[in-house]
Amino acid sequence: MGLTITEKILAAHAGKDKITPGETIWVDVDVLMTHDVCGPGTISIFKEQFGENAKVFDREKIVIIPDHYIFTSDKHANRNIDILREFVSEQNLPYYYDVGTENYKGVCHLALAQEGHNRPGEVLFGTDSHTCTSGAFGMFSTGIGNTDAAFILGTGKLWVKVPESMQFKFTGKFPDYIMAKDIILQVIGDIGVDGATYRTMEWTGNAIMNFSMEERMTLCNMAIEGGGKNAVIEADEVTLKYVKERTNKPYNIYHSDHDANYFFKKTYDASAMEPVVAKPHSPDNKALVRECSDVKIDRSYIGSCTGGKYTDFLAAANLLDGKKVAVNTFIVPATTEVFKDLESKTLNGKTLLNIFKDAGCEIGDASCAACLGGPKDTFGRTHGTEVVVSTTNRNFPGRMGSKQSEVYLASPYTAAASALTGRITDPREMLN
């Protein structure tokens, strides 16, 4: 019996030839990522357990990316950034992307990719559930809490229960109006918010492999919304081109064997996919966009690790160019690199930034912003009964701030089309 990509990576990091799903193993960690929300708690547990003067297991393997509560006057949030700074200085950590400096990046999951920390075949843990995003690079990556992160800081190891794999295959070609967000919302709708609990969501098929790295990251980002332990897409030439432009470090490429064992396999016809939303208040509350065309919205929000990448904004700009939005529309680039792309890359002779400004959108600075509500003064946060169409990844009650607000998760195309009409709108109405 062969092995899946995930099983091969975990076996290699546990020093074993073979592992079986359900088995508990200890793996060597290649990268530990933390941020401003969970970093301070992690550091405090690390010091409590390993001593005030303890040193991290390998300073080259720690990446700290403040991104959640950056542009706020909240004194506790700002204090947490100071704790990160102090730790980085004390441990002399090379990979820290400090707020208020040219090094500042923004949302950790995209920053990891853009700064060359995502490498095929590696094991990456992060104190954020959307760490599964990095699986787009053919690596094992998953979210953990402060205690596990502190354990890694001290030892470079963590226990893992080997997950069973689920394979989602898309054959053929996606229609032009379909984005990766439509696909992940479709699949989560099909399997439910706990349909992949403690399992791997492996994506395959020529339609998936035709996606850009940005779109692959969108797919893998929301594995956690299906309960998944990790997501993975095997590395190919698209992956290697992206990786080689950003790091010189070596990596290993793994492929799933033809006779690997899967808990579940499903094949979809890519050409049959339709634009999808997740209605309030759960990411698996799936509906076709065209079935929701009578839902009036107060706000459109395009941003976050899953919906604030260059390709997301290019899609939105395609629809917004030369038009005016009908509702408050927030544009939040995930990272400073994406912000620079908005300033420099053009469509029909105009920069994306100018297209958004001319359309009447509000532009925020790179960070997690209102994706998870945050302090009261967070850009784009809901405070009342707003109905929002958003390219983010969660629509649990209160996720974007107010418990009374209602969030529809959607692709950047759908969010932009809806921004123009003031109701949930199928992008095909605009693209034809």
Partner 1 sequence: MLGDNIDTDQIIPAEHLVYSLSDPEEKKNYGKFAFSGVPKDGAGLPEGNKLFVEDGKFKSEYTVIIGGKNFGCGSSREHAPACLKIAGIQAIIATSYARIFYRNSVDGGFFIPFESPDQLINNIRTGDNLTINVETGTLTNNSSNHNFKLQPLGEVAEIVKAGNIFEYARKAGMI
Interacting residue ranges for partner 1, rule: CB under 8 A: 24, 37-38, 40-41, 44, 48-50, 68-69, 74, 76-77, 79-80, 126-129, 131, 143-148, 151, 154-155, 157, 159, 161, 193-194, 197-198, 224, 227, 229, 282, 372-376, 394, 396-399, 401, 403
Token pair recorded at residue 405: 């607000």
Q: Which residue has the tokens 């079935």?
A: 291
Taking the least distance from each CB to partner 1, the nearer of 393 and 411 is: 393
DSSP state of 210: T
Q: Report the nearest approach of partner 1 to the CB of residue 385 (Å).
A: 14
CB nearer to partner 1: pick between 9 and 371: 371
In sequence order, the β-bridge partners of residue 387 are 406
Give yes or no for a cis peptide into 383 (omega within 30° of 0). no
Length, in residues, of the chain: 432
The residue (of 37 and 389) whose beta carbon lies closer to partner 1 is: 37
Nearer to partner 1, 153 or 289 (CB): 153
Residue closer to partner 1, measured from CB, 126 or 380 = 126
Q: Which is nearer to partner 1, 183 or 368 (CB)?
A: 368
Closest distance to partner 1 from the beta carbon of 341 (Å) = 27
CB of 357 to partner 1, least distance (A): 29
Q: Which is nearer to partner 1, 178 or 187 (CB)?
A: 187
Write the burial class of residue 342 (CB in 10 Å: 0-12 exposed, 13-18 middle, 19+ buried).
Answer: buried
The minimum distance between CB 54 and partner 1, in angstroms, equals 11
CB atoms within 10 A of CB 346: 12
- Toward partner 1, which CB reaches closer, 189 or 275? 189
Shortest spacing between CB 68 and partner 1, in angstroms: 8
Q: Please, what is the minimum distance in Å from the beta carbon of residue 82 to partner 1? A: 12
Of the two residues 4 and 382, which places its CB atom closer to partner 1 in the complex? 382
The full DSSP string for 89-125 is HHHT-SEE--TTSTT--BSHHHHHHHTT---TT-EEE
Q: Which residues contact 118 (CB under 8 A, 6 or more apart)?
A: 112, 124, 134, 136, 137, 139, 141, 243
SS3 content of the chain, % helix, strand, coil (to 5): 35, 20, 45
State the nearest-atom distance from the C-beta of 163 to partner 1, in Å: 9
In terms of Cβ atoms closer than 10 Å to its own Cβ (0-12, 13-18, 19+), residue 360 is middle
Bridging pattern class, strands 328-332 and 299-303 = parallel
- Minimal distance, residue 207 CB to partner 1, in Å: 28
Alpha-carbon torsion 96, 100, 105, 109, what sign? positive
CB 312 within 8 A of CB 342: no
Instruction: Give min distance, CB of 330 to partner 1, in A.
Output: 17
Burial class (CB in 10 A: 0-12, 13-18, 19+), 223: buried
